[in-house]
Amino acid sequence: METNRQKKVGGVLQRDLVDVIQKALAQAGVTGIIVSVSKVGVTTDLSQAKVYMSVFPHDKAAEMLVEVKAVKPFIKHEIAQRTRHQLRRMPELQFYIDDSLEYIDGIDKSLKGTEDPIENPDLLPRRKKS
CB 61 within 8 A of CB 6: no
In whole angstroms, give the CA distance from residue 36 to residue 72: 16
Q: Give a yes or no: residue 34 inside a domain.
A: yes
What is the CATH classification number for the domain harbouring 40?
A: 3.30.300.20
In whole angstroms, give the CA distance from residue 80 to residue 97: 22
Query: 5-57: per-residue pLDDT in tens?
Result: 889 989 989 999 988 888 887 887 777 888 889 899 999 998 999 999 988 88
Which domain, by its residues, includes 98? 4-116
Residue 83: pLDDT band (50, 70, 90) is confident
In terms of C-beta distances under 8 Å and separation of at least 24 residues, what long-range contacts does 109-113 make, across chains too?
none
Q: Give a yes or no: residue 121 inside a domain.
A: no
Residue 129: pLDDT band (50, 70, 90) is low
Q: Give a yes or no: residue 127 inside a domain.
A: no
Of the chain, the end-to-end C-alpha distance in Å amounts to 42
Q: Give a yes or no: residue 130 inside a domain.
A: no
CB 68 within 8 A of CB 75: yes
Q: Give a yes or no: residue 54 inside a domain.
A: yes
Q: Give a yes or no: residue 128 inside a domain.
A: no
**How many domains does the chain contain in total?**
1
| pLDDT surpassing 80 at residue 110 | no
Q: Give a yes or no: residue 81 inside a domain.
A: yes
In whole angstroms, give the CA distance from residue 24 to residue 86: 22
pTM metric for this prediction: 0.74
Q: Give a yes or no: residue 39 inside a domain.
A: yes
| pLDDT surpassing 60 at residue 130 | no
pLDDT of residue 36: 87
